[in-house]
Amino acid sequence: MEELPIGRRVSYWRNRRKMSQQVFADRLGKSKSWVDKVERGVRRLDKFSVVYEIADVLQLDVQLLLGKDPERRPDSMNCIDQIEVAEIRSALERYDQISAFFYATPEPPPITEMRKAALHAWQTWEHGRYGVLARALPKLLRDAQAADTAYAHSDDSREAAHLLGQVYQLASSVLRKLGELDLSWLAADRSIAVSQRAGDQLLAGVATTRVANALRALGRHRAALEVNVNIANRLCPTPGATTDDQLSVYGFLLLQGAMAASCIGDSATMRDLLSAAQEAAAGLGGDKNHYWTSFGPTNVLVHRAAAAVELGEGGLAISIHDGLDPTAFNAMLPERRAHHYLDMARGFAQVGDVERAGEMLLEGDLLAPAEIRCRPIAHEVLSDVLRRTRGTPTASLAELAEQMGVGV
């Protein structure tokens, strides 16, 4: 954000507010020519009073115009915008290890602080607070990259690489959710390389699922299937010598492979992978969250329902959903449950039950609003539900549509 000239930030936010230069100028008491020169960088904004007036007209935190992080409520539901995407991209474009050959590396944060920051970021992700995580990512990426470079030849080298691999995975996951697919693939690819330096096969295994999910989001389903299955085969459990961590990552890879198979209509491979995942989950003995996988019997069922939706078998997905153990399902992390509700909204829409589909969207919104309000697929589902609703939608659904900017 800091790299963008203030004039471009003014132009971006004026357009986002759907305000013409003339209307904007009138509300500022300036000429249209003045606004045009500011936005093109011909005229400097060197008075704070004018910057504050612009922020007021744009109904914007003045810190955003100044290229700084604004004060935000921790429960803010704002989704990511293009200025924030640009800042994440800038952080991903850093090559600290190469620069270290020519310049002194910046003072890195202590490993203990990085460990706490990564843990907090995972918790933010698991509760579906994507906007909050996206705004924290640029600094987190810069800090993790600096730490990985600075500690490269110390006893902390592997842990620093491990933490950077985690941050790349988080970046990939949230960027994919928010529709920034190319950046999601880049971050996931970086995570695999860093995981290898960390010497952790399981971290690399989870990173593989991030790459595969990015590929799947880009429409490259067969490539996603192959990479998941290949790495799963390498992590295949050995009787008596398999840890819960390994079993969880192995099962998670199988689930993501099953989703990729469903996307290309390969129902036989999908069923085989789901059956193998179910067997792995049984060996785990319950729902766990090793290596941030949320893997276990309940997550296998949730993925069975999601895969059925991808195949267009909404009725089967509903049957699976209705058979979920409420206690086990409610113990899952908010992101997982809200994601399932979004999948089920699609499933109910497939069988023509748009009323239940709307209810699923509302359930997901109550649980993790960003999963519904910030994801492009959720906007598509809500638009479809509203289009097919006979008469007037419920007040709750109409309110959600208004907040999401989806026409009723």
Calculate what percentage of the chain has a pLDDT beyond 90. Answer: 68
The tokens describing 347, both together, are 């499933």
pLDDT at 356: 98
Coil, strand or helix at 156: coil
User: Which residue, 197, 183, 70, 211, is CA-closest to 145?
Assistant: 197
pLDDT at 108: 81
Indicate if the pLDDT at residue 70 is higher than 70. Answer: no
The tokens describing 279, both together, are 């067997």
pLDDT band at 229 (very low <50, low <70, confident <90, very high): very high
Instruction: Enumerate residues 6+ apart whose C-beta is below 8 A from 98.
Output: none
pLDDT at 69: 54
pLDDT band at 62 (very low <50, low <70, confident <90, very high): confident
Higher pLDDT, 70 or 375: 375
Residue 128 DSSP one-character state: T
pLDDT digits (tens, 9 = 90+) for 136-179: 999 999 999 999 999 998 999 999 999 999 999 999 999 999 88
pLDDT at 2: 47
Asked whether the whole model's pTM tops 0.75, one would answer: yes
- Rounded Cα distance between 181 and 172, Å, is 8
- The stretch 391-404 carries a mean pLDDT of 92
Higher pLDDT, 46 or 356: 356
Question: Where exactly are the structural domains of the chain?
Answer: 1-71, 82-199
- The stretch 54-73 carries a mean pLDDT of 68
- The stretch 385-398 carries a mean pLDDT of 94
For 383-391, the CB contacts below 8 A with 24+ separation are: 383/407, 384/349, 384/354, 385/345, 385/349, 385/354, 385/357, 385/358, 385/361, 388/349, 388/352, 388/354, 389/354, 389/355, 389/358
- Rounded Cα distance between 196 and 199, Å, is 5
- The stretch 352-372 carries a mean pLDDT of 96
Q: In 10 A of CB 44, how many CB atoms?
A: 11
For 222-230, the CB contacts below 8 A with 24+ separation are: 222/260, 222/264, 224/256, 224/257, 224/260, 224/263, 225/257, 225/260, 225/261, 225/264, 225/266, 225/269, 228/253, 228/254, 228/256, 228/257, 228/260, 229/253, 229/254, 229/257, 229/273
- Rounded Cα distance between 296 and 294, Å, is 7
- The stretch 175-193 carries a mean pLDDT of 93
pLDDT band at 18 (very low <50, low <70, confident <90, very high): confident
Q: Tell the CATH superfamily of the 1-71 domain.
A: lambda repressor-like DNA-binding domains (1.10.260.40)
- The stretch 396-401 carries a mean pLDDT of 94
Instruction: Enumerate residues 6+ apart whose C-beta is below 8 A from 93.
Output: none
pLDDT band at 78 (very low <50, low <70, confident <90, very high): low
Indicate if the pLDDT at residue 197 is higher than 60. Answer: yes
pLDDT digits (tens, 9 = 90+) for 91-108: 888 766 555 444 555 678
Tokens 């305000």, located at residue: 19
pLDDT digits (tens, 9 = 90+) for 256-287: 999 999 999 999 999 999 999 999 999 998 99
Residue 292 DSSP one-character state: G
Residue 41, CA distances (Å) to 16, 29, 36, 38, 193 in order: 19, 19, 9, 5, 40
User: Which residue, 127, 143, 134, 142, is CA-closest to 170?
Assistant: 134
Give one word for 368, left, alpha or beta, with left for phi > 0 and alpha for psi -120 to 50.
beta
pLDDT at 3: 54
Give one word for 291, left, alpha or beta, with left for phi > 0 and alpha for psi -120 to 50.
left
pLDDT band at 47 (very low <50, low <70, confident <90, very high): confident
Instruction: Enumerate residues 6+ apart whose C-beta is below 8 A from 353.
Output: none
CA contacts within 13 A on the Cβ side of 229: 17
pLDDT digits (tens, 9 = 90+) for 233-264: 999 998 877 899 999 999 999 999 999 999 99
Q: Where are the alpha helices (DSSP H) in 218-266?
A: 221-234, 244-263
Q: Average pLDDT of the chain?
A: 90
The tokens describing 234, both together, are 């390498």
